[in-house]
């Protein structure tokens, strides 16, 4: 009898909160009405950045298909390549106007979405940061990503291991460092992870950065654009490697890795150990051909599926699963679901991609 009474009160309370748009979780992680749940057929917004790597292209299709088959009405938008930030801001504002219950955002510039996510919260939508964190706002409810710092650590370690294997007699190695676009919140996290591994070896003289460019401002690649990495590499080679060999390059992703390799080839130099990330088709081919050394397997299918699981939990009025409190966006710790990234070299490519219909065949040699 007592149990029944409590249950009734609890249900009444939830119903009341649903009506008033309050969260049953209090104000600790969200100011939005996520505990109220929502119906199938609801609009779910997905705002993706410009298509700077294959994973973004794939994510759009997977979100459209996955949300549709889960019974929602997806509104998937990419920001244009020019005026990208403004374009994404407008797209998010229009998702709010369309009554989206959840807005999933792969931010072009994680520091420039405060008013849009405020608008989303004011309208009762839940905001999920996808792959890239949204910074300096309390109005981001969840974050779902591969562990970005771990990605950087794997890249740093791969650079060391690759050079050790390729130059077994060397005592020191000449390297150069590249980082991602400074408007992407992930770029400093990747770099921080890599430098955790590399900085001690720079300090003890094992690694020599002949250009002296070790600061993230000097190593950044605006817009994650291949041509920017290629021209910086051209300049680095011309200025520092006329009489020296380059043994390794820290590249934060595959698109830039291939641009760096193109530059090295054009300079007529042997290809050094070059890291990457994203398991792009051309890079997996390059790894199998013995050119690019490594990439990172961050299966987009799993990341999108995890995000859609969050939407399903929110639709039921429950709290999505999270497994990390590592990500503070400058204002709050954002409840996060992190997936584990995996390092891939020629040695484990077949194993790593064994369930991937596109990549697995490329590893059969």
- Contact set with ligand BGC (CB under 6 A): 52-53, 55-56, 131-132, 180, 184, 186, 224, 253, 277-278
Decide whether 23 or 283 has the Cβ nearer to ligand BGC: 283
For residue 173 the two structure tokens come to 């190695």
Crossing angle of helices 300-315 and 54-69, rounded to 10°: 40
User: Which residue from 155, 148, 153, 149 is spatially nearest to 273, judged by alpha carbons?
Assistant: 155
Cα–Cα nearest to 315, from 55, 102, 107:
102
Minimal distance, residue 187 CB to ligand BGC, in Å = 7
What single-letter DSSP state applies at residue 328?
B
Comparison of 116 and 253: residue with beta carbon closer to ligand BGC: 253
Beta strands in the chain (DSSP E): 43-48, 73-78, 102-105, 126-130, 142-146, 173-177, 207-208, 248-250, 273-274, 294-297, 336-339, 342-345
What CA–CA distance (Å, rounded) separates 338 from 179? 22
Contact (Cβ atoms closer than 8 angstroms) between residue 156 and residue 193? yes
* Closest of 313, 301, 299 to residue 70, by C-alpha: 313
Return all residues near 302 (Cβ < 8 A) that are at least 6 apart.
339
Q: Which residue, 58 or 315, has its beta carbon nearer to ligand BGC?
A: 58
When the beta carbons of 53 and 329 are compared against ligand BGC, the nearer one is 53
Query: Which two structure tokens, joined as six digits, stand for 285?
Result: 């081919």
**Residue 219: alpha-carbon gap to chain centroid:** 19
Cβ distance to ligand BGC smaller for residue 141 or 184: 184
Q: How far is the CB of 132 from ligand BGC (least distance, A)?
A: 5
Q: Which of 144, 106, 99 is nearest to 122 (CA)?
A: 99
Edge to edge, what strands does the sheet with 102-105 contain? Answer: 73-78, 43-48, 102-105, 126-130, 142-146, 336-339
Residue 124 C-beta: closest distance to ligand BGC, Å:
28
User: Of the two residues 141 and 147, which places its CB atom closer to ligand BGC in the complex?
Assistant: 147
Phi, psi of 50 (to 5 degrees): -70, 165
Q: Which is nearer to ligand BGC, 132 or 150 (CB)?
A: 132
- From the list 124, 140, 139, 143, the residue with the least C-alpha distance to 35 is 124
We find the least distance from the C-beta atom of residue 271 to ligand BGC, in angstroms, to be 21
Smallest gap from Cβ 274 to ligand BGC, in A, equals: 14
Q: Nearest distance from residue 151's CB to ligand BGC, in Å? A: 8
- Provide the minimum distance between the beta carbon of 102 and ligand BGC in the complex, in angstroms, as a whole number: 21
C-alpha 350/C-alpha 297 separation (Å) is: 12
With respect to ligand BGC, which residue has the nearer C-beta, 139 or 148? 148
Find the shortest distance in angstroms from Cβ 41 to ligand BGC: 31
Least CB distance from residue 62 to ligand BGC, whole Å?
15
Q: How many CA atoms lie within 13 A of 353 on its CB side?
A: 26
Using the minimum distance from each CB to ligand BGC, give the nearer residue, 8 or 83: 83
* Least Å from the CB of residue 225 to ligand BGC: 10
Please list the residues that pair with 324 across neighbouring strands: 336
Report the alpha-carbon distance of residue 170 to residue 168 in Å, rounded. Answer: 6
Residue (53 or 292) nearer to ligand BGC, CB: 53
Structure tokens at 82: 């020019």
């Amino acid at each position: 009898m007592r149990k029944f009474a409590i249950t009734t009160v609890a249900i009444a309370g939830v119903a009341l909160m649903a009506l008033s748009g309050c969260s049953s979780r209090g104000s600790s992680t969200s100011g939005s009405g996520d505990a109220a749940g929502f119906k199938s057929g609801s609009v779910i917004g997905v705002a993706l950045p410009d298509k700077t790597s294959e994973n973004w292209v794939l994510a759009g299709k997977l979100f459209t298909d996955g949300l549709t088959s889960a019974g929602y009405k997806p509104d998937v938008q990419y920001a244009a390549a020019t005026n990208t930030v403004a374009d994404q801001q407008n797209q998010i504002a229009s998702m709010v106007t369309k009554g989206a219950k959840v807005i999933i955002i792969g931010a072009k510039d994680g520091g420039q979405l405060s008013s849009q996510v405020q608008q989303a919260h004011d309208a009762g939508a839940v905001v999920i940061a996808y792959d890239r964190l949204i910074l300096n706002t309390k109005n981001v409810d969840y974050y779902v990503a591969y562990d970005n710092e771990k990605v950087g650590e794997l890249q740093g370690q791969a650079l060391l291991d690759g050079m050790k294997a390729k130059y077994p007699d060397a005592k020191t190695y000449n390297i150069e460092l590249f980082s991602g676009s400074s408007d992407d919140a992930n770029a400093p996290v990747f770099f921080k992870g890599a430098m955790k591994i590399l900085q001690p070896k720079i300090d003890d003289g094992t690694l020599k950065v002949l250009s002296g460019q070790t600061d993230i401002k000097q190593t950044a690649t605006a817009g994650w654009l291949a041509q920017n990495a290629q021209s910086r590499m051209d300049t680095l080679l011309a200025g520092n490697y006329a009489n020296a060999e380059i043994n390794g390059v820290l590249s934060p992703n595959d698109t830039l890795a291939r641009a760096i390799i193109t530059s090295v080839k054009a300079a007529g130099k042997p290809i050094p150990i070059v890291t990457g990330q994203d398991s792009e088709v051309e890079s997996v081919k390059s790894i199998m051909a013995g050119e690019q050394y490594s990439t990172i397997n961050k299966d987009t299918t799993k990341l999108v599926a995890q995000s859609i699981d969050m939407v399903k939990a929110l639709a039921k009025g429950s709290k999505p699963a999270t497994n990390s409190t590592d990500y503070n966006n400058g204002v709050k710790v954002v409840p996060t679901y992190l997936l584990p990234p995996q390092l891939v070299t020629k040695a484990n490519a077949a194993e790593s991609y064994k369930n991937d219909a596109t990549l697995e065949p490329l590893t059969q040699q």
